[in-house]
Structure 1
């Protein structure tokens, strides 16, 4: 059996780095990391706690796929936040569509400009 010690990063396929940076840096407030070496394709790394998010401009094998209306029923990345209502307000002001968690928890789901599903869940962190 494999013993996994920690999740390190999540890679997300995007088509337009400028548009994706505007979303992830401008709207979500992430800061690019300079800890990763350049790769043979365009992209960006973001440090989020002990993990990283990796945006990659590569051919998308899922292009044209029909995505579920609710991001919680799709592959997604989950981010811990203090207050889901603050996220809701920012998304409302930016005109970004979202759905609330179907489980009743304090969480919501939206999609980035390329349709990648993102979850924002209220989690108390020490």
Structure 2
């Protein structure tokens, strides 16, 4: 097997409408209009070249699961999120990169990641 990439990730959310506001208004996702009419609530979103599928279902306890958004300027994104009243820690160096985390309204962790910026502060 040789995967071509990650097509989508699925995130369980308790209130799809509330989550949609967060993922589009805060994280900049774009709503797709090709989601089939499933028997459960949710939404399909584009975040860069990967889709995020919000699924109305019980949210599992946090045990380290997350997905990461690749960003050009982590510091600018942290400033933007804080200006919107979103709680986000200062970025930390991880290897040659930097990262921090933000949480959606259900507590799902989303890593904010910038490659090759460990020397910046």
User: What TM-score results when the alignment is normalised by the length of structure 1?
Assistant: 0.78
Q: Of residues 79, 87, 94 in structure 2, which corresponds to 1:103?
A: 94
Unaligned runs of 5+ in 2: 117-121
Going from structure 1 to structure 2, the CA distance change for 1:58 and 1:93 (only over 3 Å counts) comes to same
Offset of residue 22 of structure 1: 1.4
Whole-angstrom CA distance in 1 between matches of 2:73 and 2:37: 34
Structure 1 stretch displaced more, 30-39 or 103-112: 103-112
- Alpha carbons 1:109, 1:119 under 8 Å: kept: yes
Q: Which of structure 1's runs of 4+ aligned residues deviate more than 6 A?
A: none
Q: Of residues 51, 76, 84 in structure 2, which corresponds to 1:86?
A: 76
RMSD: 2.1
- Alpha carbons 1:101, 1:109 under 8 Å: kept: no
Which residue does the alignment assign to 1:115? 107
Whole-angstrom CA distance in 1 between matches of 2:81 and 2:68: 16
What CA deviation, in whole Å up to 9, does each residue of 1:28-62 have, x standing for no partner?
121100123221111011123332100011133x2
Is 2:34 the partner of 1:35? yes
1:53-92 matched pairs, under 5 angstroms: 53-60=52-59, 62=60, 65=61, 67=62, 74-92=64-82
